[in-house]
Structure 1
């Protein structure tokens, strides 16, 4: 997935409120409700320490502040450490954090210091967006399309297969597609004879990956991908229910999974 930019994280509370609204419209639950149903957990006064990390490309502007807003939005007591890196980790622990949130260029993790549970953002994000797609109340079809079968898409595809969906898959990387077909038994999408889907889960860092030939009216498109997988023109033309938010839904999934 693409690295976030400060622009992606503008007005994060507004983005979360809009995401909550569309998730409710699609599933009948808000984001917290989906997480609770998925993991069987609820917050219980856990304190979250957010540690800025400077390695690699360094600290993304607004990232720690956005995580602070996100954790508070979902009902967690959280704080951002004054120090970064190892010193920040030490500060978080000394300040009573139950859960640590920290990220470098490769891994964004949540680690519950009380029970030892740890979560990586990539599979956690794939699973929650797939779960939202699976709860599409607008169709009885068990067919779902997964576009992108990498570190986010593959765990989401696994989740959908385990839930009993007939999963069609596509990835421009033939190795990733072959792995998903052989290990999960998904159906490779025939782009020469496309079919329309009422439920799509997309996990790529590319824009406009979903062509008109695959979209049915009132289709639910659940995607953590940035930039957007569908053009605004097609979204409006087919009244696509677009579940897309840059950071909060995946972070909620991580936190609920380690409770």
Structure 2
């Protein structure tokens, strides 16, 4: 996924609140309760330190502040360290933080200093966006046991596996056709061992076949990746991709419901991944 920019985050607080409301409407769970159900963990009184990191392309404007909003919005105690990088980590430990959030160009992680759990944003983001699709309770969406996944990178692939674990038949597309073939080959070989439930239920999406979907997971950094002929009226698009891969025109034409927010949903998923079990 592309690195976020300050412009990506300028409406983040409103986007998070609006998406929390939509997620509750779709699944019956608020976002924090959904994450608790996914990971079988719960927040207690963890103190969360957000450490600005200057490595690589440097600090993204509004990033730390957006994380702090997410933490506080969902009733947790958090602070941004005054120092950056290693000095910031030291400050977090000396301030008796329970969890640290920090990101550079390659990874955004949550690390629980007490129980030693660690979570990667890309994996947790893919999982929670897929879980939203799987747990959606409107009549059409409940009946639908197939999904389209667009983008098989470090977010889309964990999302695809989550869908398979829920028993979905998945059509997959990526601009890199070899990646699609590799993913299909990998899951077709899971005929023995502990992952037989994931075997053989991934196929290549053919945009010329006219197959339509209520449930679509889009995880790319590109515009116009969702083709019109895959849409049904009332489709649900769950997308951590920035920018949105579905045009406004098609959103309105097909009454598409969209779960999309640049940072907070994935961050909350990461935090619940490292909390203690219930």
Q: Residues 75-127 of structure 1, C-alpha deviation per residue, up to 9 Å, x if partnerless? A: 21000000000000000110111001000001000000111100010011000
Counterpart Cα distance in 1 of 2:11 and 2:133: 25
2:185 pairs with 182, 187, 190, which one? 182
Q: Residues 103-153 of structure 1, C-alpha deviation per residue, up to 9 Å, x if partnerless? A: 000100000011110001001100000000111223201011111011000
- For the residue of structure 1 that corresponds to 2:237, the secondary structure is strand
On the 8 A contact 2:207/2:229 being kept in 1, the answer is no
Count of residue correspondences: 259
1:61-76 alignment, distance < 5 Å: 61-76=61-76
Counterpart Cα distance in 1 of 2:132 and 2:186: 23
Counterpart Cα distance in 2 of 1:194 and 1:37: 35
TM-score, with normalisation over the residues of structure 1? 0.98
- For the residue of structure 2 that corresponds to 1:22, the secondary structure is helix
Counterpart Cα distance in 2 of 1:250 and 1:44: 19
| Alignment match, 1:211 | 227
1:67-86 alignment, distance < 5 Å: 67-86=67-86
Residues 1:173 and 2:173 aligned together: no
Structure 1 runs, 4 residues or longer, greater than 6 Å off:
none
On the 8 A contact 1:136/1:199 being kept in 2, the answer is no
On the 8 A contact 2:207/2:230 being kept in 1, the answer is no
Q: CA-atom RMSD, angstroms?
A: 0.9
On the 8 A contact 1:43/1:75 being kept in 2, the answer is no
Residues 1:60 and 2:65 aligned together: no
| Alignment match, 2:7 | 7
| Alignment match, 2:191 | none
Residues 1:239 and 2:242 aligned together: no
Counterpart Cα distance in 1 of 2:255 and 2:204: 26
1:79-98 alignment, distance < 5 Å: 79-98=79-98
Farther off after superposition, 29-38 or 81-90: 29-38
Structure 2 spans left out of the alignment, 5+ residues: 188-199
| Alignment match, 2:208 | 192
On the 8 A contact 2:207/2:227 being kept in 1, the answer is no
- For the residue of structure 2 that corresponds to 1:206, the secondary structure is coil
Counterpart Cα distance in 1 of 2:12 and 2:245: 20
| Alignment match, 2:124 | 124
Q: CA deviation at 1:13?
A: 2.1
On the 8 A contact 1:223/1:244 being kept in 2, the answer is yes
Counterpart Cα distance in 2 of 1:254 and 1:163: 20
